[in-house]
Chain A
Amino acid sequence: MEKFTLIGKNMKRIDTAAKATGEAIFSADLTLPRMLIGKALRSPYPHARIVAIDTSKAERLPGVKAVITAKDMCGDKWGVFRYTQDQQFLPTEKVRYVGEEVAAVAAIDEDTALQALTLIDVQYEALPSVFTIDDAIAAGAPQLHDAYPNNINVHVKIDVGDIEKGFNESYLVREDTFSAPEDAYFQGEPYAVVAQFDQAGNLEIWMPNAGPHMKAKPLSNVLKIPLNKVRVRKITIGGAFGGRSEISPADVICAFLARKALRPVKIVYTREENTVATRQAHALVTKIKTGVDREGKVLARDITCHMDGGAYSSTGPIATSVPFLCMEQAYRMDNVRYNGYRILTNKPIRGMYRVHGRAFACGIDIQLDMIGAALGIDPLTMRLRNARQTGDYTPTKSYVASCGMTESIVKAGEKSGWKEKFGKLPPYHGIGIGCNSVQTGFPMGIRGGSQAFIKLNEDGGITVITGIVDNGQGNDNMVVQIAAEELGLTPDDVQLISADTEVTPSDPGSYAMCETFIGGNAVRLAAQDVKKKLFRIVAGEFGIGVDNLTARDRKIFVTENPEKSMSIAKAVRIALSRNESISGEGSYWPNVDPKREWVKNPYGQLSETFSFGTVIAEVKVDPETGQVEVLEVTAAQDVGFALNPQVIEGQFEGGVAMGGQGGMLSEFLQWHEGRVLNPTQFGYLVPLAIDMPKINNIIVETIDPNGPYGAKEAGMSVAMSAAQAYCGAISNAVGVYFHDYPITPDKIVKAIEEKRN
C-alpha cells in the first residue's frame, strides 16, 4: 500500500472550479443592500503641510452620505512595530507622497463620489521634497518625520566573525556596487474593500489580505472597538506577493465611512491607485565587498545596503533585513558585516515583495561570477564551494535542519547542460546561475503560531477551521489535502472555514512563506487529534490497541487485517451517542528564537527551516538592439517535500516570470518628482505568455524533520534566484557584468558599445 493517498499527488485544487466559472467572489464583486461607493481624495503634492480642509461643499452634494478627514479619526499612528508607528490613515499635519489619502467620501454611486472629491477644498503649503536616497541623507535635507533624523528610518547592523582578518587572509578581494529602481506588485486584482456595521457595532469587512488577523487588530485599535467586533471575512484574493500584508488606509477609510454613513461602503481601487497607494517594492543600492581564498571560498563579506522606503515605515525593519538573511542562508560566510539602511523619501510606501532586493541578491551572485572568472573557476563551481549545508548555523545563528542547496545546484547543472555550455556558447549567447534561500516564517510575536479546529459530522464528513489564508497559491487546497490525508477521507468530505476573524483561530497569515510549514502543521495536528479520538472508539469496539489502526477510504481498519473495519461515520455516531468529544484541535508554534529582534538583536533562530533553490538560465542577446531571448530556464528547489507537485511547479513557473523575465528584463517604476509615470499595464511591463521561455522544473526533496510531511516553502526561492540567473546569463552573453537592474535593452546596447571602445 502506498504511504499516502493524497499527499505528494497532483491533486486538483478545490478552489479552481469556482474560479474557472466566474462563481468565485472577489472583494470588488460584492454588492450589499444600500451599499455606497467610497473614493479617496489624494495628495497632488509629494510633501506639503495641510493648512485646512473644507468639506462642506462636498457634504452638501445630493447623494453624498459621508465625508471623512483626519478629524474623524483620533490621530492614531499605525506601525508594524511599536517603534515604527508613523503612519496616520488620514494625515493630520502633512502629506508625504503624491497619492496619499487626505479625505474620503461615500456616495450613492461612483459618479457622485468622484464629483464630491472635486468639491473638497484642501489648502496645502508645499514643502521641499526628497526623491532619492542620496538627497534624503544629504546634510540639510528636508525631513519627513521628526522621529527619523536624516531620514534614516531603520538601521540594521549585523557583525559576525572578524571581517578584517578575513579580508587580510583573502587571496582576492573585490568591491562592487549594485542598484535597482523600484518594482511593483501588479497583482491581478486591484485593491478593493467592502465594509459594513450592524446595529450592535460589529464591523464586517472584506478585502484582499495576507492574514485576516493582521488586518483585524489595527482595525480594532483605530476604531476603538473590541477585536470580537471586527469580522474580517474570507474572500477570494487575486494575488498578494507580499503587497497585501498590512492594514491599508483603504480598509480603515472604508470602515469609517461605513460607520459614519450607517450603510455598507465599497471602495475599489483603479489600477493606478493599486500601483501608487498600496505598496511598492524598494529601490536598492548595495555595496558588496567580498574576499575569497584561492579556491573561491568566501572568507569575508562587508555589505552596505541603502533602500528607498518611501514615506513611511511599513514593514521596514523586516524589509531592511531579509535580502541579507536570504543570502546568509544560501551561502556560507563566516565573517560578515551588514549595514542595512532604510531611507525615507517623498514617494509611495514600500513593503515586502516576492523578489525583494534584486540589487542585493544579483549583486552577491554576479560578484561570485566575477571572482570566479578572475580565479579561473566557473560560476557553478563557485556556488558549490560556498553552498550552505545541512547542520550548519547561519552567521546570525539559525540552525539549518535540512538543506538541498548542493543538490539543487548539481541537478540544475545537469539538466541545463551547464558543463557542455558554459564558456562554449557562441557569441552573445550565455548561461547563468543563481542561488537563493528563503525563510518559512520568522518571529512574529504572539501571532507566530497557528491553531486549527476540526469538527465532525455524523456522516463522517469534517469541517476544518483555520486562520490560514489563500492569496491564490493554493493554501486552501493544502489544508484540505492534509486533513483528508490524515483522516482517510476524500477532499469532498472536507469543508473549510478559513481566514475569517469571527470564527477562525489565530494564524500568522501568508507571510514569509510560513503557511504550509506553520499552518499546515497545525491542521495536521488537529486532524491527528481527531484521529486519536476516533481510534480510541474503534479500538474499544474491536477490543484492540489504538496503535493497530489505520484510517483510509472513509474507514478505520485494523492495519494487519484490513477486512476488519468501521466506517468513520459509524465511529462518529458512537461518539455522539456516548456524549464523547471527538472535535480536534491542533496548534503549532515554530521553533524560532523569540528574543531575536530585527534591529535590537538580529541573532538567534530566525525560522525553523529554510528552502534552497537554484535557477539556471540560457539566453541569446541581439547585440544591435539589446533584446534578450531567453531560450530555457531550469528551476530546482529544495521544497522539503512536494505536497502537490503541480502546485509547486506553478510556483516555480510564476517565479521565473516575476523574478527573472519581469524582474531582470522589463519591470521597473519610472519617476518624475515623486510621481509614478508607468502606473498602468501599458507602462509597467509584466511578462506575457509570448515572452516566456521553456521552463524545466526540478523538485528537490530533503524531507525537513519538522515540516508537515517534510514540506517547507515553494513560492519565493525560485522567483529570487531566477533574477540572479538571468543576470548571470545576460552578463555571460554580453561579456560585461551588469551592476544596474533590470537589464533593459538600452543598458545592454550601451554595455556592448563601451566594451567595443
Chain B
Amino acid sequence: MKEMKRYSLTLTVNNETHAVVTPPNRTLLEVLRDDLQLTGTKEGCGEGACGSCTVLVDGQPVRSCLTLAVAMEGRKITTIEGLAQGGKLHPIQAAFVENHAIQCGFCGPGMILTSQALLNDNPTPAEGEIRRAISGNVCRCTGYAKIVKAVQSLAGEER
C-alpha cells in the first residue's frame, strides 16, 4: 500500500471545530462517521445515487460519500446531529415525526437535511418543487407521500 501524506484539517461541523488528521483518500462521510462519530450520516450506496449521506455544506445539500474530506476546510458543515437544539427537535425533524414521514429511518437524515435546504432557499415551495428537490434521495419505505406532506406542513402559503 502506498504511504500517503497525512493532512491536518480543521473542520467546522455543526458550529464546532474539529481537528482531524487524515490521508487525502478519505471521504467526508468516512471522516464524519469514523473520526467524529457522527453516525447519523449514513452510507447507502457509496456512489451518490441514494442520498442517505447528504450533509449541508454552506447550506447546500452535498453527497458526503463523493466529497473529499481534505477539500472541506473552511466550509460550514451541518449534519443531522446539528439540527436539534437544546434537546428540542428542529421544526423539520418535528414535522417528519408528526407526519409519519419516517419508517425505517435510514434515509431520514439525508431526506431531512435536503428538505431543510430547500426550505432555506424557498420557504414556500409548491408540491412539485418539493418532489423535485428530494428526488435525489431514495426512500424504500414510505412512497414519499408523508415526506412531501411533512415538508408542506412547513411550507407556509402555497403559491
Contact of B141 among A24, A271, A654, A691 (CB under 8 A): A654
Asked whether, in the complex, the Cβ of A22 is within 8 Å of the Cβ of B40, the reply is: yes
List 30 A–B pairs whose Cβ atoms lie within 8 Å, in order of A's numbering: A13-B97, A17-B97, A19-B105, A20-B97, A21-B83, A21-B93, A24-B105, A115-B1, A188-B44, A188-B104, A188-B138, A188-B141, A190-B45, A236-B105, A238-B104, A239-B140, A473-B103, A473-B141, A653-B145, A654-B140, A654-B142, A654-B143, A655-B143, A657-B143, A657-B144, A661-B143, A681-B50, A689-B132, A689-B148, A692-B144
Look across to chain B and name the residue whose beta carbon is closest to the beta carbon of A23: B40
Known: A680-B47, A689-B134. A21 touches B89 (CB 8 A): yes
Q: Is A28's CB within 8 Å of the partner chain B?
A: yes
Asked whether, in the complex, the Cβ of A472 is within 8 Å of the Cβ of B143, the reply is: no
Look across to chain B and name the residue whose beta carbon is closest to the beta carbon of A114: B1
Q: Is A304's CB within 8 Å of the partner chain B?
A: no
Known: A646-B146, A654-B141, A655-B143. A681 touches B108 (CB 8 A): no
For B58, the chain A residues whose CB sits under 8 A away are: none
For A15, the chain B residues whose CB sits under 8 A away are: 105
Give A31 to B36 CA distance when docked, in angstroms.
Answer: 12
- Closest approach, in angstroms, between the C-beta of B23 and any C-beta of chain A? 9
- Closest approach, in angstroms, between the C-beta of B104 and any C-beta of chain A? 3
* Total contacts A-B at CB 8 Å: 185
B75-95 residues with Cβ-Cβ distance < 8 A to A are: 79-81, 83-84, 89, 93-94
Asked whether, in the complex, the Cβ of B102 is within 8 Å of the Cβ of A653, the reply is: no
For A689, the chain B residues whose CB sits under 8 A away are: 130-132, 134-135, 137, 139, 144, 147-148
For B42, the chain A residues whose CB sits under 8 A away are: 26, 28, 188-189, 238
Other CB < 8 Å A-B pairs besides A188-B141, A239-B104, 12 of them?
A16-B102, A20-B93, A31-B37, A188-B139, A650-B141, A650-B143, A652-B143, A654-B141, A682-B49, A688-B136, A688-B138, A689-B144
User: Would you list the 8 A-B pairs with minimal beta carbon distance, nearest first?
Assistant: A22-B40, A472-B104, A19-B105, A653-B143, A188-B106, A238-B106, A681-B49, A657-B143
Asked whether, in the complex, the Cβ of A22 is within 8 Å of the Cβ of B46, the reply is: no
Q: How large is the interface on A (under 10, 10 to 19, 20 to 34, 35 or more residues)?
A: 35 or more
A251-306 residues with Cβ-Cβ distance < 8 A to B are: 268, 270-271
Q: Is A695's CB within 8 Å of the partner chain B?
A: yes
Q: Is B52's CB within 8 Å of the partner chain A?
A: yes
Give A234 to B157 CA distance when docked, in angstroms.
Answer: 43
- Closest approach, in angstroms, between the C-beta of B155 and any C-beta of chain A? 15
Contact of A26 among B83, B106, B145 (CB under 8 A): B106
Asked whether, in the complex, the Cβ of A649 is within 8 Å of the Cβ of B100, the reply is: yes
Asked whether, in the complex, the Cβ of A188 is within 8 Å of the Cβ of B52, the reply is: yes
For A420, the chain B residues whose CB sits under 8 A away are: none
Contact of B100 among A21, A188, A238, A647 (CB under 8 A): A647
Q: Is A241's CB within 8 Å of the partner chain B?
A: yes
Contact of B102 among A19, A29, A237, A661 (CB under 8 A): A19
Q: Is B109's CB within 8 Å of the partner chain A?
A: yes
Q: Is B41's CB within 8 Å of the partner chain A?
A: yes
Asked whether, in the complex, the Cβ of B45 is within 8 Å of the Cβ of A680, the reply is: yes
Known: A25-B39, A649-B100, A688-B135. A238 touches B105 (CB 8 A): yes
C-beta contact mask, A655-674 vs B, less than 8 Å → 1, else 0?
11110010000000000000
Asked whether, in the complex, the Cβ of B44 is within 8 Å of the Cβ of A681, the reply is: yes
Asked whether, in the complex, the Cβ of A239 is within 8 Å of the Cβ of B106, the reply is: yes
Give A20 to B80 CA distance when docked, in angstroms.
Answer: 8
Contact of B144 among A28, A189, A237, A653 (CB under 8 A): A653
- Which of B46, B93, B142 gathers most chain A CB within 10 Å? B142
Q: Is A745's CB within 8 Å of the partner chain B?
A: no
A157-203 residues with Cβ-Cβ distance < 8 A to B are: 186-190
Known: A111-B1, A239-B104, A690-B131. A12 touches B97 (CB 8 A): yes
Known: A13-B102, A16-B97, A473-B103. A22 touches B109 (CB 8 A): yes
Q: Is A474's CB within 8 Å of the partner chain B?
A: yes
Q: Is A686's CB within 8 Å of the partner chain B?
A: yes
